[in-house]
Amino acid sequence: MEAWGTTPKQLLPLLLLLLLAGPPAVRPAPPTCYSRMLSLSREITGDFQSLQAMEPLEPCVRYLPRLYLDIHNYCVLAKLRDFVASPQCWRVAPVDTLKDKVRKLYTIMNSFCRRDLVFLSDDCSALEYPVPAVTVLPGRQG
């Protein structure tokens, strides 16, 4: 080490400083097409459920097509098209915002991420109602 012009006593403070600084900051990986589709579909489903739960309920909302999305179901593309084309609720701000998100998801799925998408089913009726979440208590087998 003395060949580099530093002694072990001089290296100790440098090593200690590096240890105290912690690991280098890691940049998170950018979202993939798949993760973007998945997160946007969950966001849209949540927004739709919130829209239905709003008080007072906008009368036109009850006539909108149901919007429970599963990006692995081939019927989701038709579901997205139907929702955007729905004539109900024109000029209702929350619905317009939701339709913009739906349009964005359709574009991502049909154009940008087409190769990343794998459809596991084509059960259109499965998109009519949400799948209930199943909770398993700790220590119990479902």
Average of per-residue pLDDT across 64-82: 88
Residues 9, 110: Cα–Cα separation, whole Å: 62
Q: What's the average model confidence in pLDDT over 76-98?
A: 88
Cα distance from N-terminal residue to C-terminal residue, the chain:
62
State the Cα–Cα distance between residues 86 and 28, nearest whole angstrom: 38
Instruction: For residues 35 and 28, give the distance between their C-alpha atoms in angstroms, rounded to a whole number.
Output: 13
Confidence of residue 90 (pLDDT cuts 50, 70, 90): confident
Statement: the pTM of the whole predicted model exceeds 0.75: no
Range 17-40 average pLDDT = 73
3-class DSSP state of 40:
helix
Residue 35 main-chain phi, psi, to 5 deg: -65, -35
